Amino acid sequence: MNSIMPNGIKSPAHNVYCSRCSMKDYTLKISTPDGDAFSGSALSLSVRGTEGELGILAGHAPFVTAVVPCRCRLTEADGTERSFSCGGGLLCVAPSGQSPEVSLLSSRISFES
C-alpha cells in the first residue's frame, strides 16, 4: 500500500527506514488515565501546542510542551495514517534512543474510525 508521506513523496509500507523518502521511525506512546491509546512505531505526529502546530519526526530535538485540545495526525511506521482528537495534555520528546522517544499524555484521546 502506497501513501503520501509528509514530504510529498509516495512511499511503500515500510519499517524503520525508507531510502526513497528518508524517513526513520521512532517509538511513540499515547496515554490517558485509562491506559495506553497507542504504543508503537511512528513516522510522524502532528499536534497543536500552545505556540502553534508541531510536527514530530525521528531525531527531533528533546523538549516538553503543553498540547491544547486539537485534532491530531499520526503516521505509523507502516505508512498507515490515523487522525484522533486530543483533549489537551503534555508532549515529551526524549533524546534519541530512549524508549519511548515521544510521549503524548492527555486526559482524553479518541481515534477516528
Alpha-carbon span 77 to 48, nearest angstrom: 21
Q: What is the pLDDT of residues 35-85, one digit of tens each?
A: 999 999 999 999 999 999 999 999 999 999 999 999 999 999 999 999 999
Domains, the chain, in order of start with CATH, read: 2-6+26-111 (2.60.15.10)
Of 18, 1, 14, 102, the C-alpha closest to 57 is 102
Q: Cell numbers at residue 72, please?
A: 491530531
pLDDT for 16 beyond 80: no
Q: Which residues contact 99 (CB under 8 A, 6 or more apart)?
A: 27
Q: Which whole number is the average pLDDT over 17-40?
A: 84
- 92, 98 Cβ separation under 8 angstroms: no
Alpha-carbon span 65 to 63, nearest angstrom: 7
- 77, 41 Cβ separation under 8 angstroms: yes
pLDDT for 19 beyond 60: no
